[in-house]
């Protein structure tokens, strides 16, 4: 029985370690950095990393000692992509948004209580925002993609998320439950979510949710840029473009993945 109770803990720790490595932008991480990011003791992190290394799920640079995601994950991901990877459908939407606005455009997916950025394309405007990048993970409600998804979840699911997750220690008072609920009301009224430089001052984002065939908001299209490009008089235009692309992509996904 003790062994049965230990299995979920081990699995959750392995998952946290792999997610921590996925957030390094392929730069790798030391054992200590992985332990901190996964919130596990360093000896435990080292033991699990060594076991994952033997299975090919992680790799290690022998000179630097840095850990990376391993080749076995790539092979497993290839097998899973036919079921879960819809980025091929979203690439056109991301390209059109970047070309039409000059901003950086993104496609993100919901994974549990987080969003993960899958695609990025930069537009012609020379000043960029680098809050989002391919592989970046944020809790729901932090960046505009997560707020767009959260705002279109049921009230019960929103309540459950806010009861379980406290964003203020990592993200500040702007992410209190009351502040998040205010932004949810705003997103529901307009159809799109706005992040007015809350993660990085001066870096703004707007997003619209994309729905699966069952009507669940599981993805989002996002535009990001500097504050001067997201003035109120331009937000309406950007929001309309986001909503049009999000609606078209939702319909396409419903047709191709019934």
pLDDT in tens, 37-46: 999 999 999 9
- Per the structure, the count of domains in the chain is 2
Pair 189, 107 in one domain:
yes
Q: What percent of the chain has pLDDT over 70?
A: 93
pLDDT for 22: 85
Pair 106, 183 in one domain:
yes
- Give the residue numbers spanning the domain of 42: 2-76
Pair 238, 150 in one domain:
yes
pLDDT for 73: 87
Pair 89, 70 in one domain:
no
For residue 170, count CB atoms less than 10 angstroms from its CB and return exposed for 0-12, middle for 13-18, buried for 19 or more.
Answer: exposed
pLDDT for 133: 86
Residues 190-204 have pLDDT tens digits of: 999 999 999 999 999
Instruction: Single out the residue in 76, 106, 130 at which a domain terminates.
Output: 76
Residues 205-245 have pLDDT tens digits of: 999 999 988 899 999 999 999 999 999 999 999 999 999 99
How many residues are listed for the chain in this entry?
258
Tokens 């500097």 locate to: 226
What span, in angstroms and rounded, lies between the C-alpha atoms of 258 and 245?
A: 19
Q: What is the dihedral of CA 178, 180, 185, 188, to 10 degrees?
A: -160
Pair 221, 150 in one domain:
yes
Residue 248 maps to which CATH number?
Answer: 3.30.450.40
Residue 68 maps to which CATH number?
Answer: 1.10.10.10
Instruction: Single out the residue in 42, 76, 110 at which a domain terminates.
Output: 76
How many helices (H) and strands (E) are present in the chain, helices listed first? 10, 8
Instruction: Single out the residue in 19, 44, 76 at which a domain terminates.
Output: 76
- Is the Cβ–Cβ distance between 213 and 257 less than 8 Å? yes
Pair 52, 108 in one domain:
no
pLDDT for 58: 92
Parts of the chain with a pLDDT under 50: 1-3
Pair 248, 208 in one domain:
yes
3-class state of residue 55 by DSSP: helix
pLDDT for 1: 44
pLDDT for 224: 96
């Amino acid at each position: 029985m003790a062994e049965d109770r230990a299995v979920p803990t081990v699995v959750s720790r392995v998952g946290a370690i792999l997610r921590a490595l996925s957030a390094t932008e392929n730069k790798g991480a030391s054992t200590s950095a992985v332990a901190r990011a996964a919130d596990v003791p360093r000896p435990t992190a080292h033991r699990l990393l060594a076991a994952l290394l033997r299975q090919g799920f992680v790799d290690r640079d022998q000179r630097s000692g840095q850990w990376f995601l391993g080749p076995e994950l790539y092979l497993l991901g290839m097998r899973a992509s036919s079921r879960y990877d819809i980025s091929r459908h979203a690439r056109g939407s991301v390209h059109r948004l970047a070309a039409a606005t000059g901003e950086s455009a993104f496609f993100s997916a919901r994974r549990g209580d987080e969003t993960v950025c899958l695609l990025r394309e930069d537009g012609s405007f020379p000043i960029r925002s680098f809050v989002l990048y391919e592989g970046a993970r944020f809790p729901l409600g932090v960046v505009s993609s997560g707020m767009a998804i959260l705002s279109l979840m049921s009230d019960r699911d929103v309540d459950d998320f806010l009861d379980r997750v406290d964003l203020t220690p990592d993200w500040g008072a702007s992410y209190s439950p009351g502040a998040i609920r205010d932004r949810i009301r705003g997103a529901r009224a307009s159809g799109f979510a706005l992040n007015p430089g809350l993660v990085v001052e001066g870096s703004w984002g707007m997003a619209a949710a994309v729905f699966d065939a069952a009507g669940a908001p599981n993805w989002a299209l996002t535009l990001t840029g500097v504050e001067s490009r997201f003035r109120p008089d331009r937000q309406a235009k950007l929001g309309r473009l986001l909503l049009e692309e999000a609606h078209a992509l939702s319909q396409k996904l419903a047709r191709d993945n019934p």
